[in-house]
Amino acid sequence: MDKKVNNVQELMKNLKDMGYEVSYFDTAKEAAEYLDGKIDGKTVASGGSVTVQQLGLEEMLKTHNEFIWHWKSDPLEIAANADVYLSSANAITKAGEIVNIDGTGNRVASTIFGHKELYFIIGINKICEDLESAIWRARNIAAPINAKRLKRNTPCAERADKCYNCDSPERICRVLSVHWKKPRGTPYQEVVIVGEELGF
Ligand code: SF4
């Protein structure tokens, strides 16, 4: 059997064992249609996720939900008012550990506590062998590409080749979160795996 298929099957089993709801779609389009059908009449927020952008979820969901974008709103407003939070991840291990790096901390905070429903939407490119490689991925692949995308004045932003563990005032890596297991506070938590490369 294809190694990628094996990885997805193992990951899905482990996430289910942790208590997450889990779904899989071959394409981003199918995943977006699923979420568009499921999330209705709610206040929905997203933390500036490129994956969420690639799925076109703002355009779809705002026709029948209130959609609050990270870039257009006060993080405190999002924390206080959004029923549903959409996030991706910088990496996920086959064991189901979810890794994210954040600068302000509001995005990782929203994935830990504060909303009634949480959806992680994760492309197949984010699946890593173990926690060490997942943290490496978050630091050396996702963060430099994000620093470049955001035009930050950091040593990684020019070539997006690796993390230089900088002391720049514009450093975007200030918080590392690892969901070892499903946190207890959010009533509904689903991981949506997509069989395409999404985000960084
Ligand atoms: S710590 Fe600095 S150099 Fe490393 S990825 Fe983050 S912003 Fe770039």
- pLDDT higher than 60, residue 1: no
The whole-number pLDDT of residue 6 equals: 84
Q: Check if the beta carbon of residue 52 is closer than 8 Å to that of residue 75.
A: no
C-alpha 147 to ligand 1 mean position (Å): 7
Q: Where are the alpha helices (DSSP H) in 39-190?
A: 50-55, 57-61, 75-81, 106-112, 131-137, 143-149
- Of ligand 1's listed atoms, the one at least distance from the Cα of 163 is 4
Q: Compute the residue count for the chain.
A: 200
Measured at the CA of 23, the angle between CA 28 and CA 199, to 5 degrees, comes to 35
Q: If pLDDT is split at 50, 70 and 90, which confidence band does 36 have?
A: very high
**With pLDDT > 70 as the criterion, what percentage of the chain qualifies?**
96
Other C-beta atoms lying within 10 Å of the C-beta of residue 160: 17
| Statement: residue 77 has pLDDT above 80 | no
Closest residue CA from atom 7 of ligand 1: 171
Arithmetic mean of pLDDT, 124-128: 97
Ligand 1 atom at minimal distance to the Cα of residue 152: 7
Task: Assign 69 a pLDDT band (cuts: 50, 70, 90).
Answer: confident
C-alpha–C-alpha distance, residues 103 and 139, integer Å? 12
Domains assigned to the chain: 3-129+171-194 (3.40.50.10420)
Q: What is the 3-state secondary structure (H, E, C) of 91-111?
A: EEECCCCEEEEECCCHHHHHH
Question: Where residue 79 falls among pLDDT bands split at 50, 70, 90?
Answer: low
pLDDT in tens, 97-114: 999 999 999 999 999 999
Non-local CB neighbours of 30 within 8 Å, separated by 6+ positions: none
DSSP symbol at 126: G
Q: Which of 170, 171, 176 to mutate to test the pocket of ligand 1 (most atoms within 8 A of CB)?
A: 171
- List pocket residues of ligand 1, CB cut-off 6 Å: 143-144, 147, 154-156, 163-166, 168, 171-173
Q: What is the pLDDT of residue 71?
A: 63
- pLDDT tens readout for residues 141-191: 999 999 999 999 999 999 999 999 999 999 999 999 999 999 999 999 999
pLDDT band for 81, please (50, 70, 90 cuts): confident
